Amino acid sequence: MARRDDIPKTDSSEIEALIQRLKQSNLEPRDAQLVERLLRLVLSMASLIQHKNASIKRLKRLIFGPSSDKRAVTGSSTEVEADIPGEDSEQQSGSDSSPVTTKSSSSDQKPRCSGHGRMAASAYTGAKVVICRHPDFKAGDHCPDPLCRGHLYPVSSPAIFIQLTGQPLVGATRYEQEVVRCSACLERFTAPMPAGVTPEKYDATCDVSLAIAKYGASLPWYRLARMQESFGVPMPESVQFERCVVTRCR
């Protein structure tokens, strides 16, 4: 990447002075007008870039002019072929058969199915949200590009990545509480549980999941017990029955 010092710099007043000298020179008026338009284009591009309100599409339209491709308007390949020189006689001779081929080709195309099974990120309402902060940049920092003088600012819509993982119907979390003991009185001191964790083995969500699997999805207890055992979170049939009774009594 070129350094900032290697970029040639030209003041707008120098270009204006060059335009005045071109008008007073012995060049033909047509050549002088062409050079003047090119210099005016350079001034306009420099002004747009300095104000940072020009997109690549706008600069492309400014330099090359508006697009003349008819395919962007009609979307038909037959009309584009009509503009090719040397094919007028062939198209005139076969004008009667062209509509038939167009209709037959359009009828053979099958309609595409929309969606293809993809779900929007907003559909995963039960997904766990993890905020990822950038390790190197934050809002207000200078742009890392050495040729840019801008600053970074937060974007309202973050980049979203959804990862689907397999898990048992009833999960488990193992809390290992640190225990220290006095060497003299042998008193034990146990570290407290994290904030928001209730000292109950079976959470209310566990009971609700078991009740929905049994009475909502008609999943037998022995099948659920085998599945939970394969995930490393055992849930015997008798425990499932007791938790469903507790749920109905609430």
**What DSSP line would sit under 63-77, residue for residue?**
HH-S---THHHH--H
| 212 belongs to a structural domain | yes
| 91 belongs to a structural domain | no
The pLDDT assigned to 63 comes to 67
DSSP bridge pairs for 180: 189
| 160 belongs to a structural domain | no
Q: What is the CA radius of gyration of the chain?
A: 36
Structure tokens at 64: 């090359």
Residues 6+ apart with CB under 8 A from 175: 193, 194, 197
Domain that holds residue 235: 202-250
| 173 belongs to a structural domain | no
Tally the domains of the chain: 2
| 134 belongs to a structural domain | no
| 242 belongs to a structural domain | yes
The pLDDT assigned to 62 comes to 66
| 139 belongs to a structural domain | no
Rounded CA-CA distance 66/64 in Å is: 7
The pLDDT assigned to 79 comes to 43
Structure tokens at 81: 């072929």
Closest of 230, 148, 229, 231 to residue 240, by C-alpha: 229
The pLDDT assigned to 87 comes to 46
Contact 228, 170 (CB under 8 A): yes
Return the SS3 of 151. Answer: strand
| 21 belongs to a structural domain | yes
Quote the pTM value.
0.44
Which residue, of 48, 64, 80, is where some domain finishes? Answer: 64
Question: Which residues of the chain have a pLDDT value below 70?
Answer: 1-11, 50-55, 59, 62-65, 67-117, 249-250
Tell me the HSE value of 144 on the side-chain side, using a 13 A CA sphere: 4
- 8-state DSSP, 116: T
- What is the maximal distance between C-alpha atoms in the chain? 111
